[in-house]
């Protein structure tokens, strides 16, 4: 198993390859997002967190259409929705699968590093979050309904 998220490359929402090692020495919050989900208003909280900890914490959003087809749009539609509706400035990436045989390797790593409730690795829904320390290690997994306030409380030891 890989030891760090820095070993992965992903395509950003504009289709360009991004090596996650460019985020070395930053705390990351990696989230599978969707535009038509009951948790979609979390975009606002995620953007607030990104702005509040600018330079120290980076939110990485991965659109996913695997849960109730809640992210049907293409890259341009997703970008426009996020920008116009929630003024999202944190990095967004290409739409991916987070579960199943076509799951992106990054998500396979995240799920193996921090399994969910009762040891299940599968992502249960949109807006599942993974906290990654400055060394690229997955340190915590959050359920879709976990609040940004809860995440903020957990950030302190990783920001030092």
Q: Which residues are catalytic?
A: 37
Rg over alpha carbons for the chain, rounded to the nearest Å, is 14
Give the list of residues 6+ apart from residue 158 with CB closer than 8 angstroms, or none.
27, 131, 133, 134, 139
DSSP H or E run through 77: helix 75-86
Asked whether the beta carbons of 151 and 50 are under 8 A apart, the reply is: no
Max Cα–Cα distance, the chain, nearest Å: 39
Q: Which two tokens stand for residue 145?
A: 């309904």
């Amino acid at each position: 198993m890989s030891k760090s998220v820095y070993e992965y490359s992903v395509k950003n929402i504009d289709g360009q390859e991004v090596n996650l090692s460019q985020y070395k020495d930053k705390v990351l919050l990696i989230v599978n997002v969707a535009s038509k989900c009951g948790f979609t208003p979390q975009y606002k909280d995620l953007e607030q967190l990104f702005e509040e900890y600018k330079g120290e914490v980076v939110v990485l959003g991965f659109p996913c259409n695997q849960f109730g087809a809640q992210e049907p749009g293409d890259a341009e539609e997703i970008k426009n929705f996020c920008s116009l509706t929630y003024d999202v400035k944190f990095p967004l990436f290409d739409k991916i699968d987070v579960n199943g045989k076509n799951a992106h390797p990054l998500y396979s790593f995240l799920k193996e590093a921090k399994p969910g409730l009762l040891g299940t690795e599968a992502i249960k829904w949109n807006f599942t979050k993974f906290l990654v320390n400055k060394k690229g290690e997955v340190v915590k997994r959050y359920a879709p309904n976990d609040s940004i306030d809860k995440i903020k409380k957990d950030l302190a030891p990783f920001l030092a």
